[in-house]
Amino acid sequence: MPDIIHLLPDNIANQIAAGEVIQRPASAVKELLENAVDAGADEIRLIVNDAGKSLIQVIDNGKGMSETDARMAFERHATSKIRNIDDLFQIKTMGFRGEALASIAAVAQVELKTRMQGEEAGIYIEIENSRVQKQEPVAAPYGTSIAMKNLFFNVPARRNFLKSNAAELRHIVDEFIRVAMAFPGIFFSLSSNGQQVFHLEKGTMKQRIVQVLGNSYAAKLVSVQEQTDYMNIYGFVGKPESAKKTRGDQYFFVNNRFIKSAYLHHAVMNAYAEMIARDSFPAYTLFIDLDPSQVDINVHPTKQEIKFEDEKIVYAFVQSAVKHALAQFSITPTLDFELDASIQQLDAVSKPFTEAKKASASASSLYKTFTQKNQSHFIESKSELKHWRDFYESKEPGQELAGKPGNLHQPGTANPKPATGNLTQLHHTYIVLQTDKGYSLIHQQNAHERILYERFSKAVEGRPIATQPSLFPATMELAAADAVLLNELLPDINQLGYLLEPFGLNTFVIQGTPADTGQGNEKATIERILEQYKHFSSDLKYSRREKLLRSMALQQSIKPGTPLSDMEMKQLVEDLFQCSTPNATANGKPTYLEFRKDELDKLFGK
């Protein structure tokens, strides 16, 4: 029989390696930025077109390469950073595997210009499909410019798996931020299709964090700084009041390399115990420096997952350092009346509380309901408090939920509508609905979430929600990463009644809102939708549109603790049972539970 085992040609072997190293444009961005940092550059510019599909270019002012090195850099396993096996466990540079440029050259058309300090001319190299097409001297500034064009031009199957330009650009922004955050002493810029997305001047770590995450963090950061013989930790964490309901502003760096670590995230969350809600996430940018021999960074191709030799020590140190920082800067909220002039000027504070006033106050029914036993349930029957419920209840039909987050709407009929008499609200969260066979307990937020979800679904399927033009259009400035995300979602958001228009760098103008919602909090609403969307973004089984619909339904639904009038409860129940799937939210949470009368009788021995 003939021999059947043979060596693969270099270009095919490189393409196979590229599948591990270069998974999408953002993967190449990461490798090229890290190489620029390793070259000692203090100015690094990233230029992308079509979200990196047609062009990714990184220009740096680093030390450049000789002609021989420039040619060798594209060979597999070529690196300047490892000489022997021991070096592999003392890694102090960013890129080191010797596969990045070879992988890039296997799946893109590459143009390299580089010039070393002291050299009169640079070198130009053009590579396609792992083969050098051209090599010649060229006039070039000191440093290196490497451009990769037409990613996956020779692997069309891989190109077909790329997402939309907006989605791929978001991945590029993520990788750009992770490198830029680690090196605040380096100037970074990012341009996309000729428009500048980031312009990050050299500065302090705090300045870089604010540049990237947004000016809102300028007064919300607490410094972390702890040093021991074993390891150092430094950086910033957000004050408890700045915690958000979704992830997005959490960064860990080990020896200046961005990592993902649920283990260390848990340590930070423990440090915030009882200071923030359990379902909230604090912002943090934390750097851990320790001996490279104590860390294995080769456990994952992207080098974002690492192993510590002693995880428990690192965990305890991170938790302790963050806890100490929060305590040291007196983060626990306090109320000091002496410092608030507006409180001091109130009549209740500034005027004497005479015996006559004391007697008058003590005689009031309101005073009695709070000071005498068994009186609290009479609070609404007191004549002087009758106007209290009127404040919440609208007298005009059809306006039941005006002013509440996410008005209720009438979806198409599909299910039989139960009688809605004898409705009772419990704890401003549940609605009790009496039925012929017992009663149903409805969760008001879950029910409203289902109603909104079905209404939004119909809107994006071809029945757009009417938009009411804003009398005074609001301007909204976002962090660059959020601006990229919002641009991606704009078509669907406009279908849902919000009219947003880009207005310069990372800025949008809110020209209109859904016609049936109140105006005045448009900016906060959109910011909450973005935060909720990011929470869903890690779930790959949902499309972009589905994530948006679920995010908006969840964010705009009536929250627990909201009092509802009889008309509002009636409308909610009617709308729920007209939904195509009234018994659960889109995320599978029950909207109501049924309790049978005969089961209730059994509980009481009947």
In this prediction, residue 413 carries a pLDDT of 40
In this prediction, residue 365 carries a pLDDT of 57
In this prediction, residue 381 carries a pLDDT of 46
- The reply to whether 577 and 489 lie within a common domain is yes
- The reply to whether 176 and 235 lie within a common domain is no
- The reply to whether 314 and 451 lie within a common domain is no
Choose one of 203, 226, 251: the last residue of a domain.
Answer: 203
437 occurs within a structural domain: yes
pLDDT tens, residue by residue, 183-241: 999 999 999 999 899 999 999 999 999 999 888 888 899 999 999 888 999 999 999 98
Answer for the pair 529, 555: CB distance below 8 angstroms, yes or no: yes
The residue among 503 and 78 whose pLDDT is bigger is: 503
In this prediction, residue 364 carries a pLDDT of 59
Answer for the pair 512, 482: CB distance below 8 angstroms, yes or no: no
- The reply to whether 187 and 256 lie within a common domain is no
- Which pLDDT band, with edges at 50, 70 and 90, does 91 fall under? low
- The reply to whether 246 and 258 lie within a common domain is yes
- The pTM assigned to this predicted structure is 0.70
Percent of the chain scored above 70 by pLDDT?
Answer: 76
- The reply to whether 107 and 186 lie within a common domain is yes
- The reply to whether 226 and 150 lie within a common domain is no
- Which pLDDT band, with edges at 50, 70 and 90, does 271 fall under? very high
Question: Which CATH number is 266's domain given?
Answer: 3.30.230.10
- The reply to whether 306 and 432 lie within a common domain is no
Task: Count CB-CB contacts under 10 A for residue 410.
Answer: 11
Amino acid at 492: D
DSSP 8-state assignment for residue 72: H
- The reply to whether 196 and 210 lie within a common domain is no
How do beta strands 307-308 and 55-60 pair?
unpaired
From first CA to last CA, the distance across the chain in angstroms is 86
At residue 304, does pLDDT exceed 60?
yes
- The reply to whether 241 and 184 lie within a common domain is no
- The reply to whether 193 and 273 lie within a common domain is no
- The reply to whether 133 and 197 lie within a common domain is yes
At residue 592's C-alpha, the angle toward residues 598 and 413, to 5°, is 110
- Total of domains in the chain: 3
Output b/e per residue, 523-560; b: 16+ Cβ within 10 A.
eebbbbbbbbbbbbbeeeeeebbbbbbbbbbbbbbbee
* Domain boundaries, position 395: 386-606
At residue 528, does pLDDT exceed 60?
yes
Q: Distance (Å, rounded) from C-alpha 312 to C-alpha 309?
A: 9
Q: Distance (Å, rounded) from C-alpha 37 to C-alpha 62?
A: 8
How many helices (H) and strands (E) would you count in the chain? 20, 22
380 occurs within a structural domain: no
At residue 389, does pLDDT exceed 60?
no
In this prediction, residue 14 carries a pLDDT of 66
CA 451 to chain centre: 26
175 occurs within a structural domain: yes
Report which of 145, 170, 122 is spatially closest to residue 56, judged by C-alpha positions.
Answer: 145
- Which pLDDT band, with edges at 50, 70 and 90, does 360 fall under? low
- Which pLDDT band, with edges at 50, 70 and 90, does 348 fall under? low
Burial class of 84 by CB neighbour count within 10 A (0 to 12, 13 to 18, 19+): exposed
In this prediction, residue 343 carries a pLDDT of 45
106 occurs within a structural domain: yes
DSSP 8-state assignment for residue 8: P
Segment 367-374 shows an average pLDDT of: 56
Give the lowest-confidence range in 37-51, 274-288, 390-404, 489-503. Answer: 390-404
Segment 258-286 shows an average pLDDT of: 90
